Amino acid sequence: MVMERTYIMIKPDGVQRGLTGEIIKRFEQKGYKLVAMKLTKPSKEHMEKHYADLANKKFFPGLIEYMTSGPVCAMVWEGKNAVLEGRKMLGATMPSDSAMGTIRGDFCIEVGRNICHGSDAVESANHEIGMWFPEGVCEWTRCDEKSLYE
Ligand code: UDP
Ligand code: MG
């Protein structure tokens, strides 16, 4: 079975609002495996590199200011279809479009304070994991894997 890894980040507003545990809980309970995690206050340069594809957007300066305003919780989650499923768990970019039951649908109001990031494709996930965890991730086996997968 092909296992994917996705880069999930709790943004400064999510950390400040005490939502770190709730978001980790959802990924754990879904069955995904946490293979890397750290709390870190990103530099402006690092954040600009992470969001490089949005550099020409009007909201970019505000986005960088917001993302560097405090610590983020950077994580890598692993499992079957983790990239697409992770995006589903986060909900739509615009909280007003996010379904109830998703993280953004349940916990936030505005797009500029939407509490979490998730990779949008396997290729961008690999790029983001390399950027945020150059030291690599932790390989291990969840003891319930036989109950999670056929
Ligand atoms: N963003 C914003 N205003 C917008 C669109 C996006 O402030 O009109 C912010 C928002 O925090 C979003 C981030 O920029 O999560 C990255 O945008 P992207 O389109 O990649 O959305 P995502 O992948 O996070 O759903
Ligand atoms: Mg994106």
| pLDDT one-digit tens code per residue, 3-16 | 999 999 999 999 99
Q: How far is the CA of 9 from the centre of ligand 2 (A)?
A: 11
Q: How far is the CA of 129 from the centre of ligand 2 (A)?
A: 14
Mean of the per-residue pLDDT values of the chain: 97
| Binding residue numbers for ATP | 11, 59, 87, 93, 104, 114
Q: What is the mean pLDDT of residues 19-43?
A: 98
Task: Report the relative pairing of strands 33-40 and 116-118 from DSSP bridges.
Answer: unpaired
Query: What pLDDT is stored for residue 52 in this prediction?
Result: 98
CA 11 vs. chain centroid, Å, equals: 8
CATH 3.90.1150.10 describes domain 5-137: no
> How far, in Å, CA of 79 to CA of 31, rounded?
8
Q: Which residues of 116-147 are buried (b: 16+ CB within 10 A; e: fewer)?
A: bbbbbebeebbbbbeebbeeeeeeeebeeeee
Reported ipTM: 0.98
